């Protein structure tokens, strides 16, 4: 059996209770060493085989899993944040399907949630934005043209941009090309929930120099939109004394 487990954004106690149990029971762990906190591996059993997938190809990962299956061992494939975002899990699941190896997925706290927590912000502020666009700049992995940063920027919704900390000049230009003003609030969140976490408030126009000043080129999220650092917004209806909900009668 194989479990794809979300390790959370960094702090070792931000893995789920289920994920922690699966990790404690595993006989083989393959973890994404570039971003998963190694302290999580302290919770594995004596004799657990541990592999860092940063040094492995998909084929090598599959080889380890296939051998573990033959030996009736349980494997945990530990991915950073939640495995459903930029986790390359689909190709692994497809390989497992064709080999008839059973698997399950245990979700995790994505870094986009860790980033909001670090900033103490709400992405979906009433009357500001009710949508969050999760995207990235094209790198070695291309992004379809219809999903360009500029096309999303035209919505002026909150944006959370992954895997792009090394391209902030271009990102900033794309955001402006799409319709964001230079002075739209933005933030660079570096290593959210890790001890070395940094939260840098900036604007669409200043994000590149802000990150450069702090030497940040990777492991950061870029948050963009009026919800970042916004002072004015509407109160929620849910907790409005005048408003009747499924649970509470509003004042007449």
Does residue 143 contact residue 41 with C-beta atoms inside 8 Å? no
Tell me: does residue 115 bind ligand SAH (CB under 6 A).
Answer: yes
Which of 61, 69 has the CB closer to ligand SAH?
A: 61
Among 23, 78, 137, 189, binds ligand SAH (CB under 6 A): 189
Among 26, 29, 216, 221, binds ligand SAH (CB under 6 A): 221
Count Cα neighbours of 118 within 13 Å in the Cβ-side half-sphere. 28
C-alpha–C-alpha distance, residues 26 and 41, integer Å: 11
Tell me: does residue 159 bind ligand SAH (CB under 6 A).
Answer: no
Which of 69, 190 has the CB closer to ligand SAH?
A: 190
Closest CA to 207 of 222, 220, 193: 222
Which of 86, 233 has the CB closer to ligand SAH?
A: 86
Tell me: does residue 9 bind ligand SAH (CB under 6 A).
Answer: yes
Which of 29, 69 has the CB closer to ligand SAH?
A: 29
Tell me: does residue 162 bind ligand SAH (CB under 6 A).
Answer: yes
CA 110, 181, 199, 155: dihedral to nearest 10 degrees? Answer: -10
Tell me: does residue 192 bind ligand SAH (CB under 6 A).
Answer: yes
Tell me: does residue 80 bind ligand SAH (CB under 6 A).
Answer: yes
Tell me: does residue 111 bind ligand SAH (CB under 6 A).
Answer: yes
Tell me: does residue 14 bind ligand SAH (CB under 6 A).
Answer: no
C-alpha–C-alpha distance, residues 226 and 228, integer Å: 5
Tell me: does residue 48 bind ligand SAH (CB under 6 A).
Answer: no
Does residue 216 contact residue 190 with C-beta atoms inside 8 Å? yes
C-alpha–C-alpha distance, residues 56 and 59, integer Å: 8
Tell me: does residue 225 bind ligand SAH (CB under 6 A).
Answer: no
Residues 18-47, interacting with ligand SAH (CB under 6 A): 35
Which of 100, 144 has the CB closer to ligand SAH?
A: 144
DSSP E strand boundaries for the chain: 2-6, 28-31, 49-52, 75-79, 103-106, 132-136, 158-162, 185-190, 198-203, 220-224
Among 12, 114, 185, 225, binds ligand SAH (CB under 6 A): 114
Q: Name the residue with the smallest CB distance to ligand SAH.
A: 81
Sheet containing 75-79, strands listed edge to edge, beginning at the edge strand earlier in sequence: 49-52, 28-31, 75-79, 2-6, 103-106
Q: Which residues bind ligand SAH (CB under 6 A)?
A: 9-10, 35, 79-82, 85-87, 110-111, 114-115, 162-163, 189, 191-194, 218-221
């Amino acid at each position: 059996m194989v479990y794809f487990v979300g390790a959370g954004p960094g702090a070792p106690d931000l893995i789920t209770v289920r994920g922690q149990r699966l990790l404690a029971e595993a006989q083989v762990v393959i973890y994404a060493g570039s971003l998963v906190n190694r302290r999580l591996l302290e919770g594995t059993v004596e004799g657990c085989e541990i592999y860092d997938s940063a040094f492995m190809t998909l084929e090598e990962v599959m080889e380890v899993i296939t051998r573990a299956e033959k030996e009736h061992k349980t494997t945990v494939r530990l991915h950073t944040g939640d495995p459903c975002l930029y986790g390359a899990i689909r190709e692994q699941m497809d390989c497992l399907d064709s080999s008839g190896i059973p698997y399950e997925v245990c979700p995790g706290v994505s870094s986009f949630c860790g980033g909001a927590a670090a900033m103490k912000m709400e992405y979906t502020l009433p009357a500001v934005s009710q949508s969050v666009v999760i995207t990235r700049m094209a790198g070695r992995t291309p992004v379809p043209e219809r999903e360009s940063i500029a096309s999303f920027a035209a919505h002026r919704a909150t944006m959370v941009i992954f895997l792009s900390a090394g391209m902030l000049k271009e990102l900033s230009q794309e955001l402006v090309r799409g319709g964001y003003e230079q002075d739209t609030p933005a933030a660079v969140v570096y290593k959210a929930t890790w001890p070395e976490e940094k939260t840098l408030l900036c604007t669409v126009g200043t994000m590149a120099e802000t990150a450069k000043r702090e030497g940040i080129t990777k492991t950061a999220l870029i948050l963009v939109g009026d919800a970042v650092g916004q002072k004015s917004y509407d109160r929620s209806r849910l907790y409005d004394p005048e408003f009747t909900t499924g649970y509470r009668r509003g004042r007449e």
